[in-house]
Amino acid sequence: MTSPDDLSDLDVDPALAAAVLEIETHIAEGGWDQPARLYALVETAALVEHEPGLAAAMGLDASSEQGSLTAVEQDQLRPDQPLEQVLEQILWPAGVSGCAAVVERLVLPPDADDAIPEDPARAEEFAREHPDRQEVRIVAGATRAGSTYCALRLRAHDDAQSVVGGADLVPGLLALLQATLTDDVEGPEVTE
């Protein structure tokens, strides 16, 4: 794990890390107890060239840094459908370079693993009531090139200096994001 300001890790794509951290900062301004969110990540230069109206509305112009990614928030997800199920149904169009998701979860200490009930409803109740639970906001991103990056913020340490970043902090969520970035464009697509 690294400080989110330290992007010198060889496994970290600086453009992806910058986009994930920008999303994390934006979401943090809205506080906690927010719904899951999904973002398309597009090359900033391509956005300026192909969607000048949208780029202008976002404050982007031709001088935008080459090699950067711009996050485009998708329509709000249905609250009755878990993010993981939504991701299993998405294939991004070819013009999308990557994607990112934001989700809040309860995490338990490793020594609680054996006591978690198998029934999902009982497991959720167990987590909510566990005295050592932590609320965490996860912002995870992936690119078609195979890069990944996550930023995590604990509710108990809700400040920018306590955000933890790394390329593989939430492997299950990252795998779901990467699966949405196949070259197969048949099937449901997400639009801006």
pLDDT number for residue 90? 92
Instruction: Give tens-digit pLDDT for 4-60.
Output: 555 455 568 999 999 999 999 999 999 999 999 999 999 888 877 777 777 777 776
In a domain, 141, yes or no: yes
| Residue 2 pLDDT > 50 | no
As a whole number of Å, the CA-based R_g of the chain is 17
Task: Give me the domain span that covers residue 141.
Answer: 14-41+73-179
pLDDT band at 65 (very low <50, low <70, confident <90, very high): low
Structure confidence at residue 110 (pLDDT): 80
The answer to whether residue 56 sits within a structural domain is: no
Measured CA to CA, the distance from residue 37 to residue 52 in angstroms comes to: 24
Number of domains making up the chain? 1
User: Does 131 map to a domain?
Assistant: yes
More confidently predicted of 64 and 33? 33
Confidence of residue 186 (pLDDT cuts 50, 70, 90): very low
Confidence of residue 66 (pLDDT cuts 50, 70, 90): low
pLDDT at 185: 46
Whether 187 maps to a domain, the answer reads no
In a domain, 61, yes or no: no
In a domain, 184, yes or no: no
* pTM (two decimals): 0.81
DSSP string, the chain: -B-TT----TT--HHHHHHHHHHHHHHHTT-SSPPPEEEEEEEHHHHHHH-HHHHHHTT--TTSPTT-EEEEEPSPPPTTS-HHHHHTT----TT--EEEEEEEEEE--GGGGGGS-SSHHHHHHHHHH-TT-EEEEEEEEEETTS-EEEEEEEGGG-SGGG-EEESSSSHHHHHHHHHTT-S---S-----
Q: How many CB atoms lie within 10 A of CB 114?
A: 6
Q: What's the pLDDT band for 133 if we cut at 50, 70, 90?
A: confident
- Give, in order, the Cα–Cα distances in Å from 159 to each of 28, 149, 164, 176, 189: 9, 19, 11, 28, 35
> 175 falls in which pLDDT band (50, 70, 90)?
very high
pLDDT band (50, 70, 90) for residue 116: confident
Question: Residue 55: inside a domain, yes or no?
Answer: no
Alpha-carbon dihedral sign for residues 118, 152, 46, 67:
negative
Question: Could you tell me if residue 154 is inside a domain?
Answer: yes
pLDDT at 134: 87
